[in-house]
Structure 1
Amino acid sequence: MYVSRFRTLMLVTTAIGIAGSAFADEPAPTPSTDYEEIIVYGSDKVGLIETTPRDSLFGIDKPLTETPRAATFISDQTLLRYGIEEVDDLMAIAPGSFTASYFGVKGSVNLRGTIAETYYRGFKRIENRGTYQTPLAAAESIEILRGPPTALFGAGKVGGFLNISPRSGRDANGQIKTRTTGNIEVTTGSYDKFNLGGNLTLPVEIGNIVGAVNIYAEYENSGSFYKGVHPEHKLLQMASDFDLNDTTTLAVGALIYNSSGYIQTPGWNRLTQDLVDTGTYITGRDTTIKDTNGDGRIAPNEIGSSLIAGYFGTKPNPNARFTLDEGVGTAKLDRRTVMVSDADFSETDTKTFYADLSKKIGDSTRLRVQGFYDQLKNQRFVSYGFPAWYEARIFELRGSADFALDLPAIGLESKHVVGMSYRDYNGFRKESFNSGYVALDRRDLTYGATATDIFADPFSMPSLGWDNDIKSTWNDIGAFLMSDMTFGGLVNVMLGARYDWYKLDSTDRGKSTGSSILTAATSGGDFTWNASVSLKTGTGLIPYFTYAKSSAIEGSQAGDVSPGLISNGQWLSDSDLIEGGVKFDLFNSTLVGALSAYRQNRTRLSTFDRVVGTTGKGVELEARWLVNDNISLTFAGNHQKTIIEGPDTAFTYISPEAMGIDGKYVYGGTYAVYNFATSPAGFPGSYELRSIPKTTFSLYGTYISEPMEWGQAGATIGVMHVSTTATRQANAVVFPSYELVNASAFVSFGQNQVTLNVNNLFDKHYFQPAVDTYVNLAALPGRGREFRLTYKRTF
């Protein structure tokens, strides 16, 4: 129904646009150029500096150097030269973007200590918390906004978001591309790396209508640093842009993505400080539990009672099913060996469509209608005992008008955007935690997966059923206003506000509800607003201050809202932000950046539908310097602290070290506390989230030669520093600080280009902490030295 509805929208939008051009009876006014032109005097060969103001974040043309919010612009050229392929790599260029391991799958980036949302052309996509790897190669640019989304984008939490602007049929100045261009590239590298991609732009003329179509396609079929992981994906992106007449534009596009092999892994289990410090792993297997029917996995009837035991402050008695009784000892663990099995899988399909019709009226007014559709299908199984099945669809329709209003009598120059939006969600989420039979430490990684540490799942045994089986629908009708006002050419005020009215309906038929079906429905609304003020000093320094208050839905991994959250009134949560700083644009726009400080309060949805409050505060510095025509430098750093607001009553797995027990008596099962705040393994009040480092920074330098008779060459080298991190329990395992050095070099000759990227140049050993439930039991060893060699041919 949603696809057909969106196709109808695209056809209607196209028809209206073409009709508008056909019936235009007089020449259109010359397009307005009422924004300040940005002139860059240095030679920006890496795409570090904005060349024109952008409206992709706020709907209003405004340079980031004058925008009173912490924001980062990343061009496709920067992605290429810095070797950025995954969201975790964004730490090389964006402050505060260190991301802990979401079971090894790079789905969403963390910003300011909390998971960020992902947008596509200004529309929020369905949640992706490690479901599939977010593709970046199809992007023309990426914008990162730290703080809540703008009123135009819809309701969202503070913390931040990533907005992907896809390749299109327009150039950097917004003009339709008039030449047929393209390229094809192939990449090979470490661990059977293979990627084939191609990009094609075709100009189009239909009568008086001019346009261009951009098509990007990519195929990946590779091995991995981690043994047993073989990622494969196929991607097709199409973007069509048309000038229907001098005042009317149309954009229509799609992104189709299919992946397999991006299986989730917690990394190393049986986590101890000795394992982190020396790589010494406790070996051994429990043989008490048998695979009696020989199907290659264990089911509840073969296990008996739960493999999870409660810890209440006293040392537990020995349990034969928890005790390792074969192959007990120690061994050095290879960093490439992580928890995977042949039974693990993850299959994902996403489909994304958009349409955008824009009409200019006079010199200063624009009407705009936009449509967006996003679909996610994912089935996965992680053999330690977590199967999941997600299907979700989002449809959003947005109408807006933007206009300028200048009042010279009082020295006011202003731009405004006003509009309404409708967003509709329909989806389901099925998950199982094997009803208490999950035991992450049962598997001996030195021995490999066995039938007695691969747990049964509803895919292979439908009679097991699902612990959570949630069907959820909701819609959101919103109205928004944004204003950008400058008084006397000196003081700038930006205001944004929106009101959202929600209607929700959710049903859970899973086993965790008992014999009954849990159903809940509700409706309600709330305001979101932000206010910023900045001062144009004329010195290249622009101090600013921002306050924002936001209200947003507590969605899960599939974007659904559980009936439990609706019943207890936690489906809508508030967050707020105080931020101040100074933007700088110095030396004829060759040194730009920002220094900012913030304090934010927000919530996050944790395991078992628990809403956890967090308070974060920090300082960030971002600087980009074009030293001369050949050399550029960038710095991105932050110092932060994120506090979990107590008391934290969560169910939490804990390690044997927290109980003072030798692991060989525990690893056949697992222990947990049912209230983290009252347990000696936890904290009675608020505590620091140590899986996010206090300090991170990156320093990168690039040299690119002048064009010569034979071609051009260049190189980039950078270092990223991450301070110590730790698990969550009181007797925490500490992961040491580290520095990673990445390098790349390229040479271009004629229509050919060869690029070499080397990540972790000095093969540094490091760890990424796990998240949520298993943070005390596992960590992902960082990838060692890897290289990629890419050949590209343009035409």
Structure 2
Amino acid sequence: MKRVRRSRDKRALVVMTLVGGAALPGVAIAEIASGTEVAQAEVAAADTASEGIEEVIVNSRVNKEVNILPREPVDSVFGFEKSITETPRSLTSISNETLNKLNINEIDDLVALSPGSFTQSFFGVAGSLDVRGTPGETYFRGIRRIDNPGNYPTPIGASDRIDIVRGPASPIYGPSKIGGYLNFVPKSARAKDGQYSKDALGELGVTRGSWDKNVLHAEVGGPGKVAGKEFGYYLYAESEDSGSYYQNTETNQSLYQASLDMQLSDKTRIEFGGLYQNFDGNQVAGWNRLTQDLIDNGTYITGSPVSLDTNGDGLMSAAEAAAAPGKGLGLFYPFGSAGFPGIPFGDVSQQSAATVNQDLDERPGMALVNPGTAKINGSQVLVQEDDTLESKVATLYFDFIHEFEGGLKMTNKSFYESLDNINENAYGFSQYANTYAFENQLNFSFKQDYGKYVSAAYQFGPSIRYQDFEHGDNFAYEYFDRRDITKPGSPIDRRTLSTRDGSTIEPFSTHTVGHYTDLGAAFLADVSVIEDINLLVGARYDSIDITSTCLEDTLDCTGFAGVKQTDKEDAFSWTGSLSYKIPGTGLIPYATRAKQTTLVVGQGGEVPTESVLSGNSVADSTLDEIGLKGNFWKDRLYAAVAYYKQKRVDFSAQNTVTNNTTESEGIEFEFRGAITNNLALSGAFTTIEVTNLTARENGLQFGFAGAGDLPAGVDPSKMFGGVVNGLTVDPDGRKAGVPEKIYSVYLIYNFDQGVLEGLTTTVGVTHVESTFSGFSKAVLLPSYTLLNAGLNYETKHWKLGLQGKNLTDERYFRSNFPDLFGSSVVLPELPRNYLASITYKF
């Protein structure tokens, strides 16, 4: 089957040009026409108004500071340029320099610096960060990107700064998930003081690492002038051709990013640019046939079931699976009733061994013919040579900023993104997505003084987001355990796939097309009383029109396939925060309450037709948070602690993969300090409990059963050729895969004298407590402690780096989809590995 690919780049440029042009006020056009020169001093004065922690320099040969302290004002939470200390929410901001010093090259590594950000495995692809125990979102310059649970690894090397915001977004940014989000600020030639860099600068670097890792990057930025108007530009490119620790896995990707800021007049400027990523790799499910003995000792159950490839094409189709000997390859234990007196619950562990053995004996196609055991290592995983994950992502933005007389500022932000994705796995899962989104935010802001003791800053304005989606996937005959991963794949375990073989041979489970439009308006006020008391309040209204159609070549849309479903939802969000600067102490306690709307979408950004039909596509989240932040020791130490409780309100509106109905409660603590001019220190601590509210409400959770879920006396080799699933009984509803406690500490030391001048050393330790791999709590993943260390040597023109990760060669694991597959598959993490880099600066 040929997948539909729609050309969008030209359409995006046209739309953004039209919207950006419509936002230009007449006064700005007049100023441009008259050739008004840029008032550099005024621009600089406008952009340097920042409060918070003062700059602390850690000396080196090139006078390069270690940017460990959160000094910059951030607008990724409320849109106001408040310092992190003054922002009444739990968040972490990480500079590009800190990322480079600690050699953090994917978002999963951010757990070392940010509390509350431990991420479960999305089949080995670091697409988004889990925040407070639930999938988070990704923003680009303050606008939400298309959902990326695991469609491609989110790049971080092109970022000037990454903000990790915990809890749902504030009303100014529109509907969001409950957990939190990452906001990426791309590299730009516009400096923090509003000026453009005086000279062109750039670098060219190469990174080599374990398992044939090869990354080349180049970047250049500088000033320019067109028709007397000054501008700054920044270009970044990255190319990767790498192997992997995991078998049959490699990464080929290219990344291009450009930004241009131009001062049109002393009151008007534009910012525009884009990001393009082309990723070619695959997902890694990890170890199948999961048992506690496999986790503890590496003992794997070997053997293969009988081949069901009756037509000799080298694949097992859905029809061939359904025609397996006996009663097929699936065993489902339904919720009990009077009609099922021998089955009190759907939980397979609640059945007697005799009942389960009899049920499995009636399905001989599920049994391994020649079961045995073998020792395996973490590189032997459920991946076949032609498994693929390919994504092409194009992101464009255009901002128009104008300052009117009287202090009123207008910012119009236009954003476009497209996703073209294909995901194919021989064990029986395939997916494709063609999605694009356009968003325009028009924001007005101004400040007002009310006498001597009261001042306020305001934001208000409308926004529109349009998202168009086409998404298909197949998971109906997904067999993780048929493959013996000690051997190559074969017709025994290779499945036909909807995206390769066509929906007539392999019907989609869901195949959805549609779109939605979100018209919103928001208002925020930030009021200060006597400079020490701060009240921040805001509200937002959204009107969301949704159209979704489940096409007829599907299995799971019985009764409404081919019928267009529409729904219109009105939603209201609000936030309120109160904080107080305790005079003479550096401490700022705060309290926040908020309610936020979330739109429940799937892995390709689609709104499921069934959700639209049932009216469950839009839901609410609530947040209660109290915290204490402070700057101490002459502003050389920053610390923050927060207690929070947040939950999704609507039990029935959820997506098990991307947007669970969860409640999380915990404490987050972080600190950063410049202990001396040479020594910097950071640390983070998380304690968290996450509950699946739907599971707690029902006392049950649907999932795939693993060997550890079987009653004593049942040989798991009798089930590995198929699937056993049902309802796990757990009235507590506690979510698995999320450790309750995580600790981390990092030290950075710069040598600024003698023969070691220019050398920076880093050492980091992260400890993660044990957690269960799945909802049924059948397999316990052990706790672990990771030790990372690095050396960086820098001169005026050269940077040399060496980084070692997991230096003690700790054996550890992360769960995959604990609610669904936690008892079936688990990802063994990387052993000791190294990265070396060399960069030339000019």
- SS at 2:626 equivalent: strand
The Cα of 1:307 is off from its aligned counterpart by 1.7
Say whether the 8 Å CA contact 1:616–1:642 is kept in structure 2: yes
Say whether the 8 Å CA contact 1:138–1:216 is kept in structure 2: yes
**In structure 1, which of residues 289, 298, 309 is the aligned counterpart of residue 331 of structure 2?**
309
Q: Distance in 2 between matches of 1:534 and 1:456?
A: 58
- SS at 1:277 equivalent: helix
Partner of 1:596: 642
Q: Distance in 2 between matches of 1:648 and 1:131?
A: 32
Please list, as runs of the form range in 1=range in 2, the aligned pairs for 1:51-90 lying within 5 A after superposition. 51-90=71-110
Question: In the alignment, is residue 322 of structure 1 matched against residue 337 of structure 2?
Answer: no
1:285-308, Cα deviation, whole Å (9 max, x unpaired): 112x33233322211233315422
Partner of 1:270: 289
Identity over aligned residues, as a percent?
A: 32
- SS at 2:747 equivalent: strand
Partner AA of 2:245 in structure 1? F
Partner of 1:39: 54
Please list, as runs of the form range in 1=range in 2, the aligned pairs for 1:527-676 lying within 5 A after superposition. 527-538=572-583, 539-602=585-648, 612-645=660-693, 646=696, 647=698, 650-660=701-711, 661-673=714-726, 676=727
- SS at 1:301 equivalent: helix
Cα distance change on mapping 1:286 and 1:534 into 2, 3 Å: same
Q: Distance in 1 between matches of 2:770 and 2:659?
A: 27
The Cα of 1:663 is off from its aligned counterpart by 1.3
- SS at 1:79 equivalent: helix
The Cα of 1:37 is off from its aligned counterpart by 6.7
1:661-716, Cα deviation, whole Å (9 max, x unpaired): 2111111112010xx2xxxx422x34211210000111000101226688511110
Cα distance change on mapping 1:490 and 1:744 into 2, 3 Å: same
Say whether the 8 Å CA contact 1:42–1:628 is kept in structure 2: no
1:333-357, Cα deviation, whole Å (9 max, x unpaired): 1111110001311111000000001
Say whether the 8 Å CA contact 1:52–1:173 is kept in structure 2: no
Q: Distance in 2 between matches of 1:500 and 1:652?
A: 34
Q: Distance in 2 between matches of 1:37 and 1:71?
A: 15
Cα distance change on mapping 1:19 and 1:346 into 2, 3 Å: farther
The Cα of 1:650 is off from its aligned counterpart by 4.4
Say whether the 8 Å CA contact 1:654–1:729 is kept in structure 2: no
Q: Distance in 2 between matches of 1:197 and 1:55?
A: 29
Say whether the 8 Å CA contact 2:52–2:85 is kept in structure 1: no
The Cα of 1:82 is off from its aligned counterpart by 1.4
Q: Distance in 2 between matches of 1:631 and 1:451?
A: 58
Q: Distance in 2 between matches of 1:383 and 1:672?
A: 20
**In structure 2, which of residues 120, 127, 131 is the aligned counterpart of residue 100 of structure 1?**
120
Please list, as runs of the form range in 1=range in 2, the aligned pairs for 1:278-427 lying within 5 A after superposition. 278-287=297-306, 289-303=307-321, 304-305=323-324, 306-311=328-333, 312=346, 313=351, 314-317=355-358, 318=361, 319-326=363-370, 328-362=371-405, 364-409=407-452, 411-427=453-469
Say whether the 8 Å CA contact 1:726–1:733 is kept in structure 2: yes
- SS at 1:227 equivalent: coil
**In structure 2, which of residues 471, 493, 498 is the aligned counterpart of residue 458 of structure 1?**
498
Partner of 2:336: none
Cα distance change on mapping 1:710 and 1:283 into 2, 3 Å: closer
Cα distance change on mapping 1:217 and 1:412 into 2, 3 Å: same
The Cα of 1:172 is off from its aligned counterpart by 2.8
Say whether the 8 Å CA contact 1:177–1:211 is kept in structure 2: no
**In structure 2, which of residues 562, 566, 571 is the aligned counterpart of residue 526 of structure 1?**
571
Q: Distance in 2 between matches of 1:710 and 1:686?
A: 56
Partner of 1:236: 256
TM-score where L is the length of structure 2: 0.90
The Cα of 1:449 is off from its aligned counterpart by 1.3
1:6-63, Cα deviation, whole Å (9 max, x unpaired): 4235545479466542347799793446554752345383211233423343221110
Partner AA of 1:671 in structure 2? V
Say whether the 8 Å CA contact 1:581–1:597 is kept in structure 2: yes
Q: Distance in 1 between matches of 2:768 and 2:52?
A: 38
Say whether the 8 Å CA contact 1:428–1:471 is kept in structure 2: yes
Moved more, 751-760 or 29-38: 29-38
- Unmatched runs of 5 consecutive residues or more in structure 1: none
Moved more, 148-157 or 45-54: 45-54
TM-score where L is the length of structure 1: 0.95
Partner AA of 1:214 in structure 2? Y
Q: Distance in 2 between matches of 1:588 and 1:76?
A: 25
Cα distance change on mapping 1:634 and 1:35 into 2, 3 Å: closer
Say whether the 8 Å CA contact 1:420–1:477 is kept in structure 2: yes
**In structure 1, which of residues 426, 439, 450 is the aligned counterpart of residue 479 of structure 2?**
439
Say whether the 8 Å CA contact 2:600–2:654 is kept in structure 1: no
- SS at 1:104 equivalent: coil
Say whether the 8 Å CA contact 2:166–2:180 is kept in structure 1: yes
Q: Distance in 2 between matches of 1:491 and 1:561?
A: 42
Q: Distance in 2 between matches of 1:325 and 1:26?
A: 82
Q: Distance in 2 between matches of 1:518 and 1:505?
A: 11
The Cα of 1:385 is off from its aligned counterpart by 0.4
- Unmatched runs of 5 consecutive residues or more in structure 2: 1-6, 60-64, 334-345
Cα distance change on mapping 1:176 and 1:648 into 2, 3 Å: farther
- SS at 1:513 equivalent: coil
Question: In the alignment, is residue 765 of structure 1 matched against residue 811 of structure 2?
Answer: yes
Q: Distance in 2 between matches of 1:23 and 1:599?
A: 55
- SS at 1:548 equivalent: strand
Q: Distance in 2 between matches of 1:655 and 1:27?
A: 67
Question: In the alignment, is residue 513 of structure 1 matched against residue 566 of structure 2?
Answer: no
Question: In the alignment, is residue 481 of structure 1 matched against residue 523 of structure 2?
Answer: yes
Cα distance change on mapping 1:37 and 1:128 into 2, 3 Å: closer
Cα distance change on mapping 1:88 and 1:35 into 2, 3 Å: closer
Q: Distance in 2 between matches of 1:271 and 1:421?
A: 48
Q: Distance in 1 between matches of 2:545 and 2:717?
A: 51
The Cα of 1:363 is off from its aligned counterpart by 6.1
Partner of 2:834: 787
1:105-140, Cα deviation, whole Å (9 max, x unpaired): 010100100110000001100011111100000101
Cα distance change on mapping 1:182 and 1:507 into 2, 3 Å: same
1:750-794, Cα deviation, whole Å (9 max, x unpaired): 411110111111110001011142111110001111111100000
The Cα of 1:637 is off from its aligned counterpart by 1.1
Question: In the alignment, is residue 219 of structure 1 matched against residue 234 of structure 2?
Answer: no
Partner AA of 2:675 in structure 1? V
- SS at 2:498 equivalent: coil
Q: Distance in 1 between matches of 2:162 and 2:605?
A: 23
Partner AA of 2:293 in structure 1? D
Partner AA of 1:267 in structure 2? G
Partner AA of 2:415 in structure 1? F
Partner AA of 2:705 in structure 1? I
Say whether the 8 Å CA contact 1:196–1:220 is kept in structure 2: yes
1:727-768, Cα deviation, whole Å (9 max, x unpaired): 334452001110011111111234111101111111100010
Say whether the 8 Å CA contact 1:570–1:611 is kept in structure 2: no
Partner AA of 2:786 in structure 1? L
Partner of 1:22: 33
Superposed CA RMSD in Å reads 2.1
Say whether the 8 Å CA contact 2:136–2:179 is kept in structure 1: yes
Partner of 1:776: 823
